[in-house]
C-alpha cells in the first residue's frame, strides 16, 4: 500500500511502517495536527487528497463479529520548518484502544470498578501485548513501531518526536544492512 501511494504521489516514506503514537495523557485527537505547537517549530500535517481513490487503500477485515470492517490509515507530512519544501512522510495514528481507555477513565464516576484503575499500568500492558502480537505474526512483524509522546510536557513537540523515531529506525536499518 505504501509503495503504491509513493508511486502515485511521487513521495517517499523513509520508513515503511505504521507509527503508532502512544500519548502519556492517553488523549488521542482525531487529527495528529491537534498536537502541533505554535511558532516556527517542526509541524505535522495530514496529507490531503482531493480524491478518495488517491488515499491509501482501505483494508477490509472480518473482526469481532463485524463483517467487512474497514480500516483506513492517514499519511502525514513532517515539516522541520513551516516553509520546508521537502517534508518527511510517515504513516501514523494513535492507538484506538488507548483512545477508548482515555474516554472510559474520564468517566470514572460512572464506571465505579475503574475508579482505582491505573491508566499508566493499563497502557504499559497494552503496549507490551500489541508488540508481542506484532512480533509473533509473520504478516505483521516489522511493520509497526510504537512512538511514545509526552503530550503533557509543553516543551515536547510531536513532529520532533516522530522525526527522531524515523531517524532511529533509519539508523537501525542501516546497521542491519551492514551486518
For the question of whether the overall pTM of this predicted structure is more than 0.95, the answer is no
Cell 515536547, located at residue? 156
Confidence of residue 1 (pLDDT cuts 50, 70, 90): confident
Residue 29's alpha-carbon distances to 24, 33, 178, in angstroms, are: 13, 8, 39
Cell 524515523, located at residue? 166
Whether the Cβ atoms of residue 16 and residue 2 lie closer than 8 Å to each other: yes
Residue, of 171 and 48, whose pLDDT is higher:
171
Residue 82's alpha-carbon distances to 4, 11, 60, 78, 92, in angstroms, are: 27, 18, 36, 10, 20
Asked whether residue 52 carries a pLDDT value surpassing 60, the answer given is: no
178 φ/ψ sector (left φ>0, alpha ψ -120 to 50, else beta) = alpha
Average pLDDT over residues 49-73: 77
Where is mean pLDDT largest: 29-38, 51-60, 105-114?
Answer: 29-38
Topology given in CATH for the domain delimited by 2-97+146-178: Rossmann fold (3.40.50)
Lowest-confidence segment of 82-86, 121-125, 156-160 by average pLDDT: 82-86
Asked whether residue 109 carries a pLDDT value surpassing 90, the answer given is: no
Whether the Cβ atoms of residue 134 and residue 110 lie closer than 8 Å to each other: no
Amino acid at each position: 500500500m505504501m509503495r503504491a501511494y509513493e508511486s502515485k504521489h511521487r513521495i517517499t516514506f523513509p520508513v515503511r511502517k505504521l507509527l503508532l503514537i502512544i500519548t502519556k495523557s492517553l488523549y488521542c485527537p482525531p487529527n495528529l495536527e491537534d498536537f502541533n505547537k505554535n511558532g516556527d517549530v517542526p509541524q505535522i500535517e495530514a496529507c490531503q487528497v482531493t480524491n478518495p481513490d488517491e488515499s491509501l487503500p482501505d483494508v477490509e477485515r472480518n473482526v469481532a463479529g463485524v463483517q467487512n470492517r474497514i480500516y483506513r490509515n492517514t499519511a502525514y507530512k513532517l515539516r522541520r520548518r513551516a516553509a520546508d519544501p521537502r517534508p518527511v512522510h510517515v504513516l501514523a495514528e494513535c492507538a484506538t484502544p488507548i483512545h477508548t481507555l482515555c474516554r472510559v477513565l474520564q468517566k470514572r464516576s460512572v464506571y465505579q470498578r475503574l475508579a482505582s484503575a491505573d491508566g499508566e499500568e493499563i497502557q504499559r500492558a497494552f503496549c507490551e501485548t500489541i508488540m508481542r502480537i506484532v512480533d509473533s505474526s509473520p504478516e505483521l512483524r516489522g511493520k509497526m513501531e510504537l512512538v511514545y509522546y509526552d503530550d503533557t510536557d509543553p516543551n515536547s513537540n510531536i513532529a520532533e518526536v516522530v522525526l527522531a523515531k524515523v531517524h532511529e529506525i533509519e539508523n537501525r536499518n542501516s546497521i542491519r544492512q551492514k551486518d
